[in-house]
Structure 1
């Protein structure tokens, strides 16, 4: 076989230009705290992140009761509750890190969900040592409180923040959906998923989901997403930020 004139082994092959998909945007539906962090990570994976929080969070100060420990089930709760001089048991590493940043010195992290937090409580605390303070978002935490009470613990639920559905999608999100530029959407809780899908439907853009890959942090969120006709629904292997980014993957 004869090589074309002027070509040698030392010459690199011309690289084929990589064509980026037109659907290069990712809707990030979580509110702060966490929105900015996820936006940065999504951008590092080569996507174009678009902030589209489905919820707005508002802190609700409360007078803390006597307790042997503080239980935190979200970063929003960790940010809303000031240091109380109590040991903190957090639902996962992200919530634990937020609690430490907010000044809580004694923080232990569970494995990422309410069931794991309940197991951590049972393994490290005793009902006889006093009640537990469970700081939650409005409408959350009832199942966890019931599970701990069934194990003999007294649980004081206190609402640390309220979550309200956003009134509309931001203009960049609407534009990307209308132009078919959204390749994926990230959903971090059932409530956020429901609120975000309601906004998409209210904008008359439900059919846009047919070309979008939805990424859910848990099976509960996956079940919630059945309302819209997504092209695909991927579920993170673990309910944490890293697994969500792995499920999203790099832009192609």
Structure 2
């Protein structure tokens, strides 16, 4: 089954490899590109922090690029972010249940405000109320921007044509912002009517709410906001909801590489 992967390129390539192992063909067309940036005053913030909060894999990569320290105590929003931190060499990691609310609960149950501030390495665009929630619990949160996730703009013509002709029966959406960018692009292209033949796989109810503006055949939401749960939705997706072809071709990218 051909599946449109809309994640930034690093995450998209990892996901495409997983899909290929399951017998699917991934078509990669990121809707955002990630640009890492220097983090001002980072070492002072890290020296003060009792824990560093990471709410995305890109946050983990940004932290790893900005400091050589690997002794830091981290708390990640979920398993995927924890795995990215482990790949970057971090070992002291607490893992929350997959969203910002669960991360706030982890902090409330495991840490004390009097033990010091929490550092949050995030993107320039932040969704959710993590800082507000933690502030209400008495924590001081020092947020530092480690990357920008900029909209790419247009879908490549082969992807737009594939969607219009129903040749990409599944679209995977991992964030509300990605879903919003996707809907805006489909509206610009004027191909919304084609989505009665296409399933959306959404990481969370918030993503599904943003994606609901298209007439999807099915709008499926992962049981938990985690990559494994997204992959589990594949059993329900596709034109015939059938088992994938074990001879599927390797992942394709609709974006120019290099």
The whole-number CA distance in structure 1 between the counterparts of 2:61 and 2:9 is 10
Matches for 1:66-215 after TM superposition, within 5 Å: 66-82=48-64, 83=67, 84=69, 85-140=71-126, 143-215=129-201
Q: Cα 1:222–1:77, aligned 2, differ >3 Å: closer, same or farther?
A: same
Q: Cα 1:125–1:32, aligned 2, differ >3 Å: closer, same or farther?
A: farther
Matched, 1:47 2:24: yes
Q: Cα 1:133–1:141, aligned 2, differ >3 Å: closer, same or farther?
A: farther
Aligned residues: 229
Q: Cα 1:41–1:142, aligned 2, differ >3 Å: closer, same or farther?
A: closer
Corresponding residue number in structure 1 for 2:250 = none
- The alignment partner of 2:10 has SS state of coil
The whole-number CA distance in structure 2 between the counterparts of 1:62 and 1:142 is 22
Corresponding residue number in structure 1 for 2:251 = none
**RMSD across aligned positions (CA):** 1.7
Matched, 1:57 2:34: yes
What TM-score does the superposition give when structure 1 sets the normalisation length? 0.85
Higher Rg:
1
- The alignment partner of 2:244 has SS state of coil
- The alignment partner of 1:193 has SS state of helix
The whole-number CA distance in structure 2 between the counterparts of 1:32 and 1:242 is 19
Corresponding residue number in structure 2 for 1:227 = 213
Deviation at residue 171 of structure 1 after TM alignment: 3.5
The whole-number CA distance in structure 2 between the counterparts of 1:77 and 1:115 is 17
Deviation at residue 251 of structure 1 after TM alignment: 3.4
**Contact 1:50/1:172 (8 A) holds in 2:** no
The whole-number CA distance in structure 2 between the counterparts of 1:104 and 1:214 is 34
Deviation at residue 141 of structure 1 after TM alignment: 5.3
Please list every run of 5 or more consecutive structure 1 residues that lacks an aligned counterpart in the other structure: 1-23
Please list every run of 5 or more consecutive structure 2 residues that lacks an aligned counterpart in the other structure: 236-242, 246-258
The whole-number CA distance in structure 1 between the counterparts of 2:49 and 2:34 is 26
- The alignment partner of 1:57 has SS state of strand
The whole-number CA distance in structure 1 between the counterparts of 2:50 and 2:85 is 17
**Contact 1:127/1:153 (8 A) holds in 2:** yes
What TM-score does the superposition give when structure 2 sets the normalisation length? 0.83
- The alignment partner of 1:61 has SS state of coil
The whole-number CA distance in structure 1 between the counterparts of 2:53 and 2:20 is 33
Higher helix share: 2
Deviation at residue 47 of structure 1 after TM alignment: 2.7
Deviation at residue 220 of structure 1 after TM alignment: 0.6
Q: Deviations over 1:179-206 (max 9, x none)?
A: 3201110000100111122222222222
- The alignment partner of 1:103 has SS state of coil
**Contact 2:118/2:142 (8 A) holds in 1:** yes
